Amino acid sequence: MQKTTNKMDCYFVRSNLFSYQEKQLPDREYKEFNDHLHSCKECNRIVSEFQSVSSFIDEKKSVQPNPFIQTRILQRIAAQMEGAGGRQNPLFQRILSTISVSFFMLIAVIIGFSIVKLSEPRIFENINHQNDIQAMKSELNIPDFIDEYNAFFDNY
């Protein structure tokens, strides 16, 4: 009796390629799987291709790294530790850098304070200047400009 390929069997075969390859199928299913491969040319081809492709997993596992990589790793670590160590300045240098930063900040504050102080006398000068003008106006009987200005707009 000729065995016919069964679509369900094909689906089962194509969904259990790993299980078949790793011999994880129960005995009965394993036998049926093999029987199907004998009768189905297409599934047979697919299983064969799958086994061929998945053999490259073993090939990849056998690749070995460069034997001198250990030296490179150690050199990199040594360089990193040197760099990190260099960055950690001795105590004296750290104190000096703190003092320098503080000094420059102090200079900046002093300059800022000086700028403010230079601009302050102008206010007082203005006030004094205004007092002098008032005094002059009183002497010369000249009305305050503000009074005239207000009067002008009141009339307008």
Partner 1 sequence: MTEKELVEGIIIYNSEAIQYLINNYQKNVIKTAYYFVENMENAEDLSQEVFLEILKSIKRFRRNATLSTWIYRITVNKSLDHLRRQKRRTIIQTMESFLKFAPDGIKKEENRMATIDTRNDDKEKRRILDNAVSSLPENQKIAFILNKYEGLSYKEIAGIMNLTLSSVESLIHRAKLNLQKKLVNYFSEYAKNNK
Residues lying near partner 1 in the complex (CB under 8 A): 14-18, 42, 45-46, 49-50, 52-54, 56-57, 59-61, 63, 65-66, 69-70, 72-74, 76-77, 80-81
Q: Which two tokens stand for residue 3?
A: 């065995």
Nearer Cβ to partner 1, position 60 or 117? 60
Nearer Cβ to partner 1, position 34 or 126? 34
Please state, as a whole number, how many other Cβ atoms lie within 10 Å of the Cβ of residue 33: 19
Q: How far apart are CA 145 and CA 131, in angstroms?
A: 14
Q: How far apart are CA 135 and CA 123, in angstroms?
A: 19
Instruction: Give me the least distance between CB of 22 and partner 1, in Å please.
Output: 9
Instruction: Give me the least distance between CB of 7 and partner 1, in Å please.
Output: 14
Nearer Cβ to partner 1, position 81 or 110? 81
Nearest of 7, 8, 10 to residue 46 by alpha carbon: 10
Instruction: Give me the least distance between CB of 45 and partner 1, in Å please.
Output: 7
- For residue 38, the one-letter residue type is H
Q: Which two tokens stand for residue 124?
A: 């007082």
Instruction: Give me the least distance between CB of 56 and partner 1, in Å please.
Output: 5
Nearer Cβ to partner 1, position 2 or 66? 66
Q: How far apart are CA 32 and CA 9, in angstroms?
A: 9
